[in-house]
Amino acid sequence: VSICLPGERGLQSVAPVGASARCVFSTFLARPMHHFNFTALSHIDFRVRSIGSAFFLACAVFSLAACGGGGNEEAPPQPVKLVGEVLGLPEQVATSSLKANAGYSGNLDTARALQAAGHAPMLDMLFMLPPASAMAGQRYAIHPDAEQKLLAFVRANSDLLKPGVRVLIHDEIYWNPQGSSDAVVVLQPQLEALAQAVALMRVHAPQARVGVTVSPYGSIGRPVTLDYIKRAIALVDWVGTDPYWFGDATGIADLNEWTRTFPVLAKASNPKVETWLIAQAFKDPAWDVAAFNGLMRTQLMLAPQYDHIIFFGWQFVSELPVSFAGRHFSSETKLIYAPYMKP
């Protein structure tokens, strides 16, 4: 079963994965031991005329460094954790019962409503790359008019393409629900097409943060696909994963393990990548309530390992029946989502 995010579905070569390909986990520090406040140095006359004045200047610089630049320097602000919701219509921005400060939609009017509400919009730009299922039986390729479509989008939506805006260019990369393949001959063209689309974004919308999403169903038990997922993550600025459950209790352990380990996998592939948990907020009323509640308790317990979280299904359910929406959950189930809900 494929649950698609709303919106239209949509130059460099990439070498295939070799037998010796390795994944190296690295960490980095965000700040040095000392910061120089160069504003505080602006009153110093840098025209050194003597050894004595040079010594004085060296002492002044050392003192400023040691005391933090005169005491006026503040620690850099920590990034705000975003809570998003996948939306369909503009009015859903106001009717949401989630404490959302971000949102994704394939509807540009909804994206503008998000922006007007002070929320961070995530833009649908799935028009450059077709879903894997659409290319089954043929070599995968970027849409031939991808650049023309991108240029048209940029011209028409400059008001939305603010610096740092997140855009989605490929949903559930590599996953073909009708028959995913773990063969390099199938996966390599998809990676190459993604690299081409990213390159176009860097040229025509360099201010945007480019992202993809990954389904666990396309990679669990497929080691080559998992390697290609890592290579895809290395190309982008953010990545989301959607460990949706469809009622089979035997799959819950695998989904929880995927959610637990995915942030480590993503950061190992790209230490600077931003991770998003796409949390399930839909349920067939016929599915086992206790099993679903247990799953979501674990999923939301793991959510802090991700940089941000976005919910799918609370109001907008795409092609699913409206009765699946999270707003129809029982009081018991809603309690599990309480940390993300308005009072």
Query: Does the pLDDT at position 8 exceed 90?
Result: no
- pLDDT digit string, tens, across residues 144-170: 999 999 999 999 999 999 999 999 999
pLDDT at 77: 55
pLDDT score of 71 more than 90: no
Read off the pLDDT of residues 215-239 as tens digits, 9 standing for 90 and up.
999 888 899 999 999 999 999 999 9
Q: What digits encode the pLDDT tens for the residues 292-342? A: 999 999 999 999 999 999 999 999 999 999 999 999 999 999 999 999 999
The whole-model pTM stands at 0.78
Cβ atoms of residues 165 and 206 within 8 Å? no
44 Cβ contact list (under 8 Å, min separation 6): 57, 60
Give the start-end residues of each E strand in 204-338. Answer: 209-214, 238-241, 274-280, 308-312
- The answer to whether residue 120 scores a pLDDT higher than 60 is yes
Q: What is the pLDDT of residues 76-101, one digit of tens each?
A: 555 669 999 999 999 999 999 999 99
